Amino acid sequence: MTGRIERGFGSVLAGLAWVGCALLFAMLLAIVGDVALRNIPVPGLPRGLAWSNEISELMLYLITMCVAPWLLRRGMHIRVDVLLQALPPRLAWGLEWVGDGLGFLCCLVMTWYGARAAWSSFASGAVNIKTLVTPEWWSLAPLPVAFALLATEMVFRMARLHAGPRRPRHDAVSTG
């Protein structure tokens, strides 16, 4: 049962990674379109896309929020593990627990504060006024969702650590 839940969760994260890829492609199209329109005059079309910088900034943030849980699941996040690989296996395994526990707690804190910020923004009716005028909570809402997914993945990581050998992980390590 737990394996099926974890596989289903992994499928959700993979789907979000594909959303991140689609956002990256859309960002590429917006930037290329903006540059092309600024440099190649086309009658009837604007000289550039005034909103492309703003949308690109938001897309970078959304790509990060979509892809981060998937990267954590695959062990492709930034990891400094030279010390873990040099320590005795059981001690390194214990430090993996410390790292995962701290990561889990940080994710919960970010989920809580992100949700509070998004709700506060929604309740106050705050807006972002740049080239585009949008409700501020639109850009804040993905943060608590992403960190809730990261916290959930941290739980699965700890379960895999518990079920595995009593040594440090070997996913995405920098040393043999």
82-129, pLDDT tens digit by residue?
888 889 999 999 999 999 999 999 999 999 999 999 999 999 999 999
* Domain region containing 42: 2-163
Residue 7 covered by a domain: yes
Q: What is the pLDDT of residues 135-163, one digit of tens each?
A: 999 999 999 999 999 999 999 999 999 99
Asked whether the beta carbons of 53 and 79 are under 8 A apart, the reply is no
Residue 173 covered by a domain: no
- One-letter amino acid of 108: L
Question: Considering its fold, how many domains does the chain have in total?
Answer: 1
Spatial separation of the C-alpha atoms in residues 25 and 163, rounded to whole Å: 39
Closest CA to 136 of 159, 154, 118, 152: 118
Residue 174 covered by a domain: no
Residue 140 covered by a domain: yes
Residue 169 covered by a domain: no
Asked whether the beta carbons of 154 and 170 are under 8 A apart, the reply is no
Which burial class, exposed, middle or buried, applies to 122 when counting CB atoms under 10 A from its CB (0-12, 13-18, 19+)? middle
Task: Measure Cα distances from 98 to 4, 79, 90, 92, 158 in Å.
Answer: 27, 14, 13, 10, 10
> Taking each helix axis from N to C terminus, what angle separates 142-163 and 2-39, rounded to the nearest 10 degrees?
140
Which pLDDT value is given to residue 117? 98
Question: Which residue carries 């650590």 as its tokens?
Answer: 161
Residue 171 covered by a domain: no
Closest CA to 97 of 166, 14, 21: 166
| Percent over 90 (pLDDT), the chain | 82
Residue 170 covered by a domain: no
Q: Give the DSSP H or E segment for 135.
A: strand 133-135
Q: What integer best gives the mean pLDDT of the chain?
A: 92
The backbone region for 75, taken as left when phi is positive above 0, alpha when psi lies in -120 to 50, beta otherwise, is left
The backbone region for 128, taken as left when phi is positive above 0, alpha when psi lies in -120 to 50, beta otherwise, is beta
Residue 17 covered by a domain: yes
